[in-house]
Every structure is written in structure tokens, then in C-alpha cells.
Structure 1
């Protein structure tokens, strides 16, 4: 999936209009629309704002991969919760979906398994 497609899907996941995202990023709606259409590419600073706003990594935004899109979003967001819960909650207006929590639990479970495995070795 390429950058314009990911950008549109991320926006639609949050049920936002292009104008809503453009306002949050401090850019014109037409500029944001051109990103989703693949007519323009954002500069580095805007890319960082986009990644922060949607709670995903730059790597995720920029890689053209065929991974399951939704699972990757949940995994990225779960990692952000585990790294800094207060900042994550503030960025998401306190919204955490059950899927994000499931992904966080999977990460924690894997970490615990790895920790037990290292202790037994």
C-alpha cells in the first residue's frame, strides 16, 4: 500500500474530513487533498506531524508494503501506549480501541515469554 492510500485510510479510520486533518496539520485542505491523491508529497516536518497525528511511525507511512494495514496500525499504536501512555492518550483524546488494547496485550505477552525464556536458559 502506498503513502496516499495509507493517508486516506488513516483519515477515514478516524472518521475525519480532509479539512479536519489539514487544520490539525496547519496546512490548506487542497494541499492535504493533493497528498491523498498522490499529486504532491509533504516535506519532512509535515510528514512528522502526520505520523504524530495518526499515531504511526514514519517508517509505516513511507514503506510501500503489502502487510495487513489494520494490524500494523494497532501494533504501532500499542507500542506507543506501552512507551508513553500519557502522551498517547493525550494525542488520541483518550480514545483506545479494543483492538489497540489487544495488540498491546500481545506485545506484553511476547515480552514476558521472552523474559521467562531468558531466565530458564
Structure 2
């Protein structure tokens, strides 16, 4: 499944195996092995592929949550709205505020994992 997802993403971008391998910094043969499922990428390579296509590693591995952009524009809007936080401070914690907070925490954990490698 991982190989099929990589191949599909590559084709969506209109890239050949040679072009993608060159952009990622490895051989076409290595990429072909990933796409055919005869070889699996290490963690660093998996992250590099996910970052290149702007998808989550979870999407590459399991086909879920294609977006790597965890903090949505709506969440940013909520977080930058002082009235929303004043309302939350007064005890009016809405689902929108909780979702925005969860997205921020998730993004921070993701960044921490990247910096630990």
C-alpha cells in the first residue's frame, strides 16, 4: 500500500521516477523498489517523502489523514481572535476552541519529534 500511495502521489505531480528520485536525493532504482513494495524506506526517508508531497506519514503508511497541515486556517483564526479567548477565560469553552487547542498541541508534538531526530 505504501508503494501505491507514493506512486499515486508522484503521478499526481506529473513526475517520473527519475525526477522524483532526483528531487529526493536517491536513485530511481531505490524509488522503484519502494513503489513496488520490495523495499521499505527508513524513517528519515519516509519523512522526506511525506514532506515533499505535503502529506502526513500516517497517510503514506495507512492511507489516513492525507494533510500534513495540522493547524487549519480556521484554527489560526480562532487562536488569533482575542474575543474568543476572553470568552474561553470566562468559562465558555466551545468545541471550536478545543479543536484549535488540540491542533496546536498536535503540531507542537510533531515539531518536537522532527527536532529529536
TM-score by length of 2: 0.58
Determine whether 1:108 maps to 2:55: no
**Count of equivalent residues:** 84
Summarize the alignment of residues 36-115 of structure 1 with structure 2, pairs less than 5 Å apart: 36-63=35-62, 65=63, 73=66, 76=67, 79=69, 83=71, 108=74
* Aligned structure 1 segments of 4 or more residues deviating by more than 6 angstroms: none
- Which one scores higher on RCO, CA 8 angstroms, separation ≥ 6? 1
Deviation at 1:108, TM superposition (A): 2.8
**CA distance in 1: counterparts of 2:41 and 2:47, whole angstroms:** 10
Determine the C-alpha separation between the residues in 1 that align with 2:4 and 2:38. 12
What corresponds to 1:28 in structure 2?
27
Q: Which structure 2 residue ranges, 5 or more long, are not aligned?
A: 79-83, 93-117
Unmatched 5+ stretches in structure 1? 84-103
TM-score (norm 1): 0.56
In structure 1, distance between residues paired with 2:12 and 2:52? 13
